[in-house]
Amino acid sequence: MIINFSSSPPSSSYSFTRFINSKSSISDFPSKPKTHFSKYPSSSNFNQYSSSNPSFHTKYRFFRDNGRYPHGKGGSFKTCALSGFDLSGFQSAQSVLEAAAVLTAIIVVHESGHFLAAYLQGIHVSKFAVGFGPILAKFNAKNVEYSIRAFPLGGFVGFPDNDPDSDIPVDDINLLKNRPIFDRVLVISAGVIANIVFAYVLIFVQVLSVGLPVQETFPGVVVPEVRAFSAASRDGMLPGDIILAVNGIELPKTGLNLVSEVVGVIKNNPRRNVMLKVERGKQDIDISVTPDESSDGTGRIGVQLSPNIKFSKVKPKNLTEAYNYAGREFWGLTNNVLDSLKQTFLNFSQTAGKVSGPIAIIAVGAEVAKSNIDGLYQFAAVLNINLAVINLLPLPALDGGSLALILVEAARGGRKLPLEVEQRIMSSGIMLVLMLGLFLIIRDTLNLDFVKDLL
């Protein structure tokens, strides 16, 4: 799993919507968040199909304007970084288990799609594994080995097509490799289809059970925190103030860049007075703030800023409305995933350093679970959509890579590529993904706060 992070952890108890609406420092305004999943294959000595390990890539825009229920325009909010993730305390440990359970369930759903598509067509299946690495527990049923492995961050379905220990004749029509192209395409695509269906079901259940978050935007920018002994504190700003105007220019009610506009003015005026019109309680007051000069020559006043947004939840009045809400939310999240993935490929040199792995995904999920268990619905839905989208990419070791090989076979009039060529292509992709996955797991683990404390 791969995920792209950039932010600070949430500080209050809304659902996942609040979790992604993190505050930005006046001196360090973040770029747009992007996240991304892929998957790590599991190793085996037989023909393995799909080692699912979802990766994460989305802007997490789950907000909608008041009275509107499409995916909305909600602004660019940040996800939670690994910094601040701590395993201390029962609640934290419980939230980690909840996040890991969500991740494992998504993997099981993906692999179950492959398994059922093969099983229902009478295609031989030899193994179904949750996790990879050494086997912790297993049982056999109807010639299929079901196992739980040491590292529950992936999974695979195994077919006996090229297993030297299999007693199935190589020309058996029920071996996957001997099936018509359509049958094989169905088996390969079934994991993606299962994740898409599961994502919609999760959103639909959320709509019926807890409702969807509704965003209402108000004028100005909120100041949730003022640091002690900072320029803002010195000049009279207080937590809870709402900045309505900067140097006589009123801030509009809506706009994706309100916070960055205020930050820009402060940064561009070190040691020069900046006039702020502030709403405090029911009064509007003018405050003159003189930004301190940072080491890089920009101004800073020592506050955190966030959009002036309030949230509520809406529940459907009937099933028809529930289907509509869920459909709009699903397509909104899907569009955000696709857009964010595109931005990552277009700006890969800038985003590559922020890519993180499965440990980071669990860290984010744990923060969501600690904030509000309801947020796990959208967290799980986004993971499912990411896994589906990433798996369709025509890359070795992904489902899309296998589909690409079948497409080549169809273009060659049904003549397959030599087995050695196919194995070389897939093996190179599997090795690359395994190496990347191992690197990210080690790096993300070392970035956890409690690990840093131990070191």
Q: Find out whether 292 and 227 touch, Cβ atoms under 8 Å.
A: no
Q: What is the CA radius of gyration of the chain?
A: 25
Residue carrying structure tokens 């020559």: 297
Residues 6+ apart with CB under 8 A from 398: 38, 39, 390, 391, 392, 429
Tell me if residue 111 is catalytic: yes
Question: How far apart are alpha carbons 200 and 207 in whole angstroms?
Answer: 10
Indicate if the alpha-carbon torsion angle 178, 181, 187, 192 is positive or negative: positive
Q: What is the DSSP letter of 168?
A: S
Q: Which of 302, 297, 344 is nearest to 3 (CA)?
A: 344
Question: How far apart are alpha carbons 248 and 356 in whole angstroms?
Answer: 43
Buried b (16+ CB within 10 A) or exposed e, 182-213: ebbbbbbbbbbebbbebbbebbbebbeebbbb
Q: Find out whether 447 and 82 touch, Cβ atoms under 8 Å.
A: yes
Four-point Cα dihedral 285, 290, 291, 293, nearest 10: 180
State the SS3 of 353-406: HHEECHHHHHHHHHHHHHHCCCHHHHHHHHHHHHHHHHHCCCCCCCHHHHHHHH
Q: What is the DSSP letter of 259?
A: H
Question: How far apart are alpha carbons 99 and 91 in whole angstroms?
Answer: 12
* DSSP H or E stretch at residue 128: strand 127-141
Task: Give backbone dihedrals phi and psi of 294, rounded to 5 degrees, phi first.
Answer: -80, 175
Residue among 111, 279, 329, 367 flagged as catalytic:
111
Give the burial class of 364: count Cβ atoms within 10 A of its Cβ; 0-12 exposed, 13-18 middle, 19 or more buried: buried
Question: How far apart are alpha carbons 49 and 444 in whole angstroms?
Answer: 27
Residues forming the active site = 111
